Structures are given as structure tokens and as C-alpha cells.
Amino acid sequence: MMPSKVVPLKEISRVELVSKGHNGCPGCGMCISLRQALKGLGKNTVLAIPAGCVPVVAGGPLPLAGLSVPTILCSFDATGAFIAGIEAALDLKGRKKGVNVVGFAGDGGTADIGIQALSGAFERRHDIIYICYDNEAYMNTGIQRSGTTPYGAWTTTTPVGSLKHFKRESKKDMPRIVAAHNPRYVATASIAFPGDFIGKIKRATELGGPSYIHVHSPCPVGWRFPPDKTIEIARLAVLTGMWRLFEIEDGQYRLTLKVPKRKPVAEYLKLQGRFRHLTPADIEEIQREVDKLWEAQPA
Amino acid sequence: MAQQYKSWKDLPIGAVVPGGTCYLNKTGTWRVSKPVLDRSKCTKCLLCWIYCPDVAIAFDEENIGIDYDYCKGCGICANECPVGAIKMVEEVESQ
Amino acid sequence: MMEQLTRSGNEAAALGAKLSRAEVIAAYPITPSTFIVEYLAQYIADGELKAKLINVESEHSAMSACIGASLAGARTFTATSSQGLALMHEMLHWAVGARTPVVMAVGNRALAPPWNLYANHQDSIAQRDTGWIEFYCENNQEVLDTIIQAYKVAEDKRVLLPAMVCLDGFILTHTRERVDVPPQDAVDEYLPPYRPEHFVIDFDRPLTENVIVTPAWYMEYQYQLEVAMRNAREVIREANRDFAKKFNRDWGGLVDSYFMEDAEVAIMAMGTIAGTARVAVREMRKAGHKVGLIKLRAFRPFPIEEIRKLGSQLKVLAVIDRNCVFGSGGASCIEAQSALYSIPNRPKVLGFIAGLGGKDVGVESIKYILNKALKVSETGRVEREVEWVNLVGGE
């Protein structure tokens, strides 16, 4: 296993494949993840993007478009199948060499409605890269819970009321579900650690597919925090251990960012309105779960 | 913009358009407060550049600049600048 | 020299796709169309067909992969039936809007519940409003020929719509008939390689496909589809004429007519029922009745002009549907009524629902229907507009 290399800021591509003037929300974490991802992928990339927040940036409205790579807006539920078809066609036509066929989908399009197409494409081992930007709910439709919404979070479909409170189920562990397909490469990333993220993207492009990168992308609108805190919160997710940066290459697991002394999860939770209702006991429960996870998984 | 089409006959089949054209959409008008860079403090670490969701920070060998035509004023750059070289200023005050 | 052998409808469909040089095939197994993909897999394994077969995990993904591959420039093919076609529904709309000329063989089969694997047109009729071209075949030769023609029509710049070629489950899919397989070079001359223009992957001039469209332009995009479907009528006629010239087999274009020159009463049918109807019409002619057959080959686009022309000479048109629009009548009957309504001397139209879920529609059933129609032509009175034929227990 060759570990991914953290790309120093000065060496990150200056080519902007996301055009300015897009309609993403101020402080949008997805926009940051898309921009950073394309810096790692480069211009020879075919992108398929399903319904979600990305089309807001990439697709219009007519006649405008936001990305300077060939882009196909695909259906919500079938990103994996679309990129499988694109990859097969390019391969047949002898056009695949040096080209990245990439799906860039949100957590709903990946972990919920799109998981079947994703699983099929990974089982068939297409030469594809699938990037999931995880903003932990259906943000473009107005903050509904998804399979990756964490325990304790308020969403519009897991409201806080007098009888029921917030999401009671824990976050679906997508990277490990994908890892169970034994792909070439699986990695988690954070927009607060662009050198690590872009290094992982580059590693995926070197390896050939299938590769999966799951990037944690805070959403100021849905997580209820001021837009200038997007990176701060993304960083805190990693430093508190709520989000863990690792990679699995051909089955070999490696933690890519060691956090010597994890900060209390409360520091991450208290900055976000979606966790405002949590009692100290709820927070302790979340802390225990995070501690358990770190004890269970190899460093 | 979309007004260029006079008829359904002019619309590109399959809604296919050239990419990277949304710079025609000047999102700077969204801004409530604007980031102001103090060049004397700036160390050109490029963190503001890589964290900007709106591709509104550009740099060359000498300078870093904020593109106010597109900056939506989210304030990530000011929040992340490790040396406090970027301050957010109310749009009204700055005019 | 033409190769002449007996082939099942499924093999004929696979041969049609092979001769058309399908480049990406994505499919999921379902009875009775599964064999189509098995044949194609074997052609690829034997090096007879240079194509990529994607064994997807669902029909929804089959169509999605076909659309992705088509946008990436490949000629694509898939096959399905029944529940599989229903599962694809979302992506059928998608293939139309993306203007991807995917060709699909549909082994028509009833939808569950209750489970039934046999011939029924409900699966493809339920897709009539997606914007797909729909062909229905009478025999295995027509299946092979129509797949080739379907590509010719679908990829035409005036059309650029996907097309399905329907063959009755088991009656055609699993039954062997003599099928002449045209030589590859002749098919290559008829059907040049697919060269899409509306979307191409070019890294120096990157395009974005399917951008968001505001209410100001969505209706205009729908009208483009309507125009494409209208254009398909003439393109289907052309494709049939060119095919007939080259391969000496004329399937009639949108419709095929039989004993219609002086017919006063006619039966209209799709798929294999049309074949049975030929026998019934021939026998009734021998008995001195002025009856004829209109075989509906294209259901989408609906052959409005042909039906008006043929219908204007008739006293009664009896339409058999192997489907039911619940609460109304048979789908092709409704279409025919709509097409005929505004002509000056419109015939009476009788609707018959028959053969659902593989129930046999024999020569006697057709004769029964024709006799009913003859009686209406004498009395001028329609007693029942829609009748379920051979229904146990009666209506």
C-alpha cells in the first residue's frame, strides 16, 4: 500500500474548474468540497451529478453552467449506474486512458436512494471514482433526515417536539459499507483538510477504480450555524473524533490524521443549532459513542 | 442569458450548454458584509483561497485579491485567516 | 446469400442488436426476455460482437447505464419485460429528455399481482406517455428487422428519441420460426455508426448536459419532444422504405394493411394477434365478407394519418387490445377513436379487450369479433363499446 500524500497548499492546482458566479449558498461546504475535488481530479474528468445541491452550482439555470469539465446531470437514484455506463462507453471507444469518470453525489443520493446503483457499480468493479459529499441531510429539499444524519440532530423530519425529539438512530457508516465491496480505494476526507482530501483524490486517480471518497461537508443552512463557521466546524468534527480521516487501499486500513488528544464533542455540537436541544446527558451519550468507536477501530 | 432564445427552435437539444459560464452571474450582489484584506498582515498562506466556496479569491506571485463581483460575503476567509489579515465590514459602512 | 434458420423471438432480437452493432448493453434478467441478453453475452464471449455488457443490478440501473453510455457516444441496447419495464419508468422519461436513442426489446408480459408470465401489452402501454417510440411485432422476422429499423429511426437527427421493440412474451420470445438473417455488410450500409452531436465529451470544450430550466423554457423543451415524435412518423416510413428496398421485406411503416382495398369492416390489432387476424380475415373473405386488417406496427407515434385514410372507407372498425386502460377501454382503441373523430365519414369503433395474461386469442375469437362488427355495420347500432372477449363468466 502506498499511502496518499498530503498535497501542500502551494502545490494545489490553481486551475479553477468551478466557475465563479454559481448559485451555491454563502459558506456552502459542498461548494468547497466540489472545488477541492476538481483540483485533485483535473480537467480530464467526466462528472455525473444527481439531484441535490450540486446541480445548483453545476447546472444552470439555462443557459449557464458552473463546471469546466464535461458534466451530466443524472437522476437522483442512479449515479453509480450512469458512471458505469459512461465508463463502459469510453472504454469501448478507446477513450478511457487518463480520464476520470466520477460521480459526485450527496449523502441522500449515496447512502439512501442511490445505494443500490452504487453497490452494483462497485461490485462490478468499474473504473470509476465516486465522491460523496456528506452534509448529513437532504439539504436542497429543505433539511430532511437522511441515512447519514447523525444521532441527536434536528431536521425538518426529525423535529424536536414535546413527545419526540431529534434523530434517534446513528449515522449510516457508508465508507465501511463501500469498503465491504473490496474496492481499490476507500477514503474519508474533510474540507477543512484540503491537502489530505486532494491527496486522496489523486491517489484514487492513480489507482484506477472503483474508488470511493466520502467528504464531510458542513451546511450552514441545515446545521444552523453562521456561514463563516463552515471550515471551523468541519475541522472540529475531525478534532473531536466525530469524523475520522482514514483510507483503505486494497483492504489495508490507515488512519491518515492522528488526533493525539481528541477535543470534547460538545465543542463541535454547541456551535450548531441542529444540536441546540441536546441535554448534557445526550451529549455525554454521544461522547461515549465516539469514544467507543475510537477504541474499537485501529489507530 | 436565457433571453437570447427567441423560440423553442433555438433551445439546445437536451439542455446542453457550454460549461463554466456562470461567471455571467454576478453573485457579489448577495453580499451583506464584505471581507477586507490587510495586505501588510497577509502571509500568503493561501488558506483563504482554498477554503473559499465561491472562487472569489485569486492570487499571483505578489498579491492576493478578493473578487467582489462574486464574493457572497460568507466570511470563511476572515474566520480562517491565521493572522487576522481579513476583517468583515458591513457593506453599508464600506461604501 | 442469406442465412436461413429457425430462431426464437429472443434470438431474433439479439441478432437484431448484434447486426446493429450495439456497443454497450446493460440489462437485468427477467422472464421472458432474459434470453436476449444471454445470446448477446455469448456473441461477445465468442468475439462475434465487439460490445460491453454491463450486468447491472436492476432494470432501473440498466436504463441509467444505457443513458450514460449513449451520452458518452455509444450505441446502446437493453431488453426487459413487465415488472422490469415498470421499474425503469423513471429512466424512460430520462432517456427521452436526454435525447438518447437507446433501443430496447420488450418481451411483453403481464404485470403482477397476481403473478403471470405471459403475453400482455400493459407493461409497454403503461409507458406510452414517456416519449418512447413503440413498435409491436407480429413475428420473429419482424423483430429482427424492426430492431435494425428502430436504430435508424431513433438516431435520426430529426427524431433523436429512444425506441422500444415489443414482442409478445412466449408467443414470440420462446417460439422458433424461420428468420432470414441479413448479411452484416448490408446492415452496415443501411445503418451507419452512431455519431451524437448534441452532447459530446470534449475536455477542451466541456459541455454540461441537462441543465436546470426555468418555467420560461420547460414547455418549449416539451414541445421539442412533441416535434421529434411527430417527425418520427415520416422517418419511420422512410426507414421502412429504405429497408424494403435493401432487404426486400416491407413491414408497412407505421401500419400494415391486409385486404383493406375495399374493406367495409376492419379489425385493428398489434403484435401476434395481427398474425392470427390475417387467417381470420382470409377465411371471412372466402366466405364473401368485405373485411380487412389494420396491423398497428407503431403505437407511438400513433399513425393518425394512416388510420384516418384507412378508416374513412370503413363502416366499422373493431379494435383488439391486449391491454386495458381501466375505467375506459383498450389503449389503441381510444387512440383510434381519437384519430377518427374529426373526419367526415367516421366509422363506428368497437373496442375488444382480449388475450390478457396470455389467454389464447384464436382465429375463432377474431371471427367472433368480426361478426359482431359486421352486425353493427348492418344495423348501424352499437350496443356495447368495449367488450372483454373470452371472459370466463361473461361481463
| pLDDT classification of C3: cutoffs 50, 70, 90 | low
Q: With a CB-CB cutoff of 8 Å, which residues 172-231 of chain A face chain B?
A: 191, 194, 220, 226-231
* Statement: residue B94 has pLDDT above 60: no
Residue A205 has pLDDT above 70, yes or no: yes
> What is the per-residue pLDDT across C113-131, written as a single tens digit (0 to 9) for each?
999 999 999 999 999 999 9
Q: How confident is the model at residue C187 (pLDDT cuts 50, 70, 90)?
A: very high
What is the percent of chain A where pLDDT is above 90?
94
User: Which grid coordinates belong to A20?
Assistant: 465563479
Q: Which residues of A touch B30 (CB under 8 A)?
A: 26
Per residue in A261-297, pLDDT tens? 999 999 999 999 999 999 999 999 999 999 999 998 7
Task: List, for residues C77-99, the tens digit of each pLDDT value.
Answer: 999 999 999 999 999 999 999 99
Query: By the 8 A CB rule, do B12 and C209 touch?
Result: no
CA distance C282 to C230: 33
Query: Rounded distance, CA A244 to CA C250, Å?
Result: 66
- B6, B11, B22, best to mutate vs chain A, most A CBs in 10 Å: B22
C57–A116 C-beta distance less than 8 A: yes
Calculate mean pLDDT across residues C190-200.
98
| Phi and psi angles of residue B33, each rounded to the nearest 5 degrees, phi first | -130, 155
Q: pLDDT tens-digit profile of A100-111?
A: 999 999 999 999
Q: Please count the other Cβ atoms lying within 10 Å of the Cβ belonging to residue A169.
A: 11
Nearest residue of chain B to residue C160 (CA atoms): B13
Compute the distance between CA of residue A173 and CA of residue A244 in angstroms, rounded to an integer. Answer: 11
Counting as contact any 3 or more CB pairs under 8 A, the partners of C are: A, B
For residues A51 and A70, what is the distance between their CA atoms, to the nearest angstrom? 17
Confidence of residue B79 (pLDDT cuts 50, 70, 90): very high
- pLDDT at position A298: 64
CB pairs < 8 Å spanning B and C: 50
CB C106 within 8 A of CB C167: yes
Contacts of A16 in chain B (CB under 8 A): 55
A257 pLDDT exceeds 60?
yes
Decide: B27 and A19 in contact? Cβ < 8 Å.
no
- Dump pLDDT digits (tens) for B19-76: 999 999 999 999 999 999 999 999 999 999 999 999 999 999 888 999 999 999 999 9
> Residue B91 has what pLDDT?
86
Average of per-residue pLDDT across C352-365: 98
Mean pLDDT on C301-325: 98
Inter-chain contact A64–B24, Cβ cutoff 8 Å?
A: yes
- Segment C35-60 mean pLDDT: 98
Q: Do A60 and C213 touch (CB under 8 A)?
A: yes
Query: How is residue C244 written as a grid cell?
Result: 424494403
Model confidence over A179-199: pLDDT tens digits?
Answer: 999 999 999 999 999 999 999
C-alpha to C-alpha distance for A63 and C210, rounded to whole angstroms: 10
Whole-number average pLDDT of chain C: 97
- Whether C385 shows a pLDDT value over 70: the answer reads yes
Do C77 and C17 meet the contact criterion of CB atoms below 8 Å apart? yes
Confidence of residue C37 (pLDDT cuts 50, 70, 90): very high
Mean pLDDT of C373-383: 97
**By CA distance, what is A27's nearest residue in B?**
B74
Confidence of residue B92 (pLDDT cuts 50, 70, 90): confident
Between residues A169 and A165, the one the model is more confident about: A169
Please, are residues C127 and C104 in contact by the beta-carbon 8 Å criterion? Answer: no
pLDDT digits (tens, 9 = 90+) for C246-256: 999 999 999 99
pLDDT of res. C5: 85
- pLDDT tens by residue, C128-165: 999 999 999 999 999 999 999 999 999 999 999 999 99
3 state DSSP class of A252: strand
Q: Is the pLDDT of residue A113 over 60?
A: yes
Contact present, A271 and A240 (Cβ < 8 Å): no
C-alpha cell of C15? 441478432
pLDDT at B3: 62
- Give the residue from C200, C208, C222, C223 with the most B CB atoms within 10 Å of its CB, the best one to mutate: C208
In angstroms and rounded to an integer, the radius of gyration of the C-alpha atoms of chain A is 18
Q: State chain A's mean pLDDT as an integer.
A: 96
Confidence class of residue C2 from pLDDT cuts 50, 70 and 90? low
Would you place residue A299 in the very low, low, confident or very high pLDDT band (cuts 50, 70, 90)? low
Interchain CB contact of B20 with C (< 8 Å) = yes
Nearest residue, CB atoms, B18 vs list A9, A12, A65: A65
d(CA A166, CA A278) in angstroms, rounded, equals: 9
3-class state of residue A131 by DSSP = strand
A-C Cβ pairs (cutoff 8 Å, strict): 159
